[in-house]
Chains A and B, each alone.
Chain A
Amino acid sequence: MTTVPETLSTNTTGSSALGRIRALTAAETRLLLRNRTAVVNSVLAPLLLVAVTWVLGVTGTQASGLVVTAIGITLVLTTYSNLVSTFVARREEFVLQRMRTGELTDGEILLGSAVPTLMVSLVQIAVVAVGAVVIGDWTAPVDVVLPVLATIGGAALMVLLAAVSTAFTRTAESAQITTMPFVVATTVLSGLYLPLTAFPEAIASAARFLPLTPVVELTRLGLAGQAWDGTAVDTAGAWAQSPLPLTVLAGWVVIGAALARRMFRWAPRR
């Protein structure tokens, strides 16, 4: 708008966004690895899921079903829940506010802080996938693009919703309570534990518009070749079923981004 004072235009090569995020990610990863409990827990949890499934003797378990479950549970319990605690803890310790005084942008700070949790989530899903192949019957997925899209979109959505949830979470400890409604509602009503067809029609239809449901739908379509109402589909059928869940997921990402931008606070309330 106004003329750029030459004092500002000189000698600014600019640090790159990627470089800044990598710097932050490296530090955050180092912090995570120094927290032994967190490391052990994040590996134990998925192993436990596999072990329980195996011990319960669900022989003939469809491996793809277990992976779908793992993706849904991991996104909610690891990505979303852990990030709410992480963001709140960093906010209350004034770490976020301090990071905002530099050249990092707001988005870079959130993303950089989230990357280690996202990597843990990915590892957990991978552990279950390997376990599932070992103990269950693995059938080639109908389509891989849809599950990958669902996982990436779902992860982005969890980061955004975690940022939103910090607005009504005062301390890292209280995150366990403030995240509960979302965790319960999304896992129960996403077709993760119970197929949506087990619910009355009205509830089932409404549940398809909840944040996690499209992720579960899309991964199940691709990995298990199963539509939300349980009917078997091939690749073409999977894609034919995908526009609604893809739109719902994209819609939630847009809503989540708008809410996060509006509600996220960088410093403790005074």
Chain B
Amino acid sequence: MSTADPTDRGHAVEVVDLHRRYGSFEAVRGVSFQVQQGEVLALLGVNGAGKTSVLEVVEGLARADRGSVRILGADPVTERARVRPHLGVLLQSSGLPGDLTVGETLHTWARTLTRPRPVAEALAQVKLSSRAHIRVRSLSGGERRRLDLALALLGRPRVVVLDEPTTGLDPQSRRTVWELVQSQVAGGCAVVLTTHHLEEAERLADRIAVMRAGRIVLTGTQAEIAATQPATIHFTLDDGALPLPPLPAVEVITGPPRVKLHTGALQPTLAALLAWSAERGIDLIGLDARPASLEQAFLAVADSPAGGPSPCRRLTAPTSRSS
């Protein structure tokens, strides 16, 4: 939850100033983050933000052009043999031979691993027990993705990297995936995942990092990230001509009678508003006050023009917000 102490040696995943380029295109421009055991970090960002490019280095499939990645203290490329028995990877695009059955696919993979879990257990985890004798090519998209996930988790990994684990899945398959990820985390796994579903990040992630054009532009807990955007207050007044009271640090988006306010300090604004209405005996019809959602915060930073340098807002503690 709290920001990691940089001297803490317990990082399951540690990425420091990671850079990657394809030819002259710099896909990753200085990304840093850490993940502890039992913690989930969600990397968000529009397509092309560099999420998969970061993950490929974490997975040990590509080298960093600059910076470093450590998985349980070891380099995933140069110390691959040490890292791999503890790393579970679900690729965004992943292929399986269509003419093997689900059971054969898992058995084959299990035989390549140091500490595989029993195949029957893996099948049950992803609710494919009844499909063990089906050829992979006959599976639905959701079943295939669940089989992919079963393979990723087959070696009892302590660090799990999931690149868009639920893209294209039906709600039920998605729920299965979520429950499985949560059970891994409860067992002490560190998880890094990317997703386009903000609901998924809200549901699974302890911390969220939003990437844009190869950089992390926003990072923190879900609440911290949402708090970067103003809260919204809605209400309607009977008397459209009534002037609003002076409210500090409030932006009036639409005036009476249908009022919409943005505020960085929801509670004091609301208190002032309620005091004013009580004093004057005014009805705030349909009063609605809510903090910004993760989605609002995401849309505010993720899709803005990629051009200029944008400062990374590192949110250390939610209490540091000025009131």
Chain A contact residues, CB within 8 Å of chain B: 2, 4-5, 7-8, 11-15, 19-20, 22-24, 26-27, 30-31, 34-35, 90, 93-98, 100-105, 266-267
Contacts and interface: CB of A to CB of B under 8 A. Distances in A.
Nearest to A102: B112
B152 interface: yes
B115 A11 contact: yes
A15 B112 contact: yes
B158 to A, nearest CB: 8
Contacts of B317: none
B113 interface: yes
A102 B84 contact: yes
A98 B95 contact: yes
B230 interface: no
Interface string B154-176: 01001000000000000000000
Give the secondary structure class of B's interface: loop
Interface of B: 9, 59, 61, 72-74, 80-87, 89, 91, 93-97, 99-100, 104-105, 108-109, 111-115, 148, 151-152, 155, 158
Give the one of A24, A101, A266 with max B CB within 10 A: A101
B95 A34 contact: no
Nearest to A266: B61
Given A5-B74, A102-B89, 14 more contacts: A2-B73, A7-B73, A7-B158, A13-B114, A19-B111, A27-B100, A31-B99, A90-B95, A94-B94, A94-B95, A101-B61, A103-B81, A104-B112, A105-B81
A106 to B, nearest CB: 9
Given A8-B73, A103-B85, A15 B113 contact: yes
Contacts of B152: 101
A195 B83 CA distance: 54
Contacts of A105: 80-81
Given A8-B74, A20-B112, A103 B93 contact: no
Nearest to A26: B108
B86 A8 contact: yes
Interface centre among B81, B99, B148, B151 (most CB of A within 10 A): B99
B95 A97 contact: yes
B91 A97 contact: yes
A158 B201 CA distance: 48
Given A102-B113, A103-B113, A12 B95 contact: no
Nearest to B97: A31
- The winner among B87, B108, B158 for most chain A CB atoms within 10 A is B108
B116 to A, nearest CB: 9
Q: Which of A20, A27, A35 has the most CB of B within 10 A?
A: A27
Contacts of A15: 85, 111-114
A24 B112 CA distance: 8
9 contacts: A5-B73, A12-B114, A14-B81, A15-B111, A15-B114, A19-B111, A23-B109, A98-B148, A101-B61
A8 B91 contact: no
Contacts of B84: 102-103
A147 B23 CA distance: 46
Contacts of B91: 94, 97-98, 101
Contacts of A24: 108, 112
A11 B73 CA distance: 16
A95 B115 contact: no
A267 B72 CA distance: 26
B95 A93 contact: yes
A23 B97 contact: no
A12 B85 contact: yes
Nearest to B135: A34
Contact of B114 (A22, A27, A103): A103
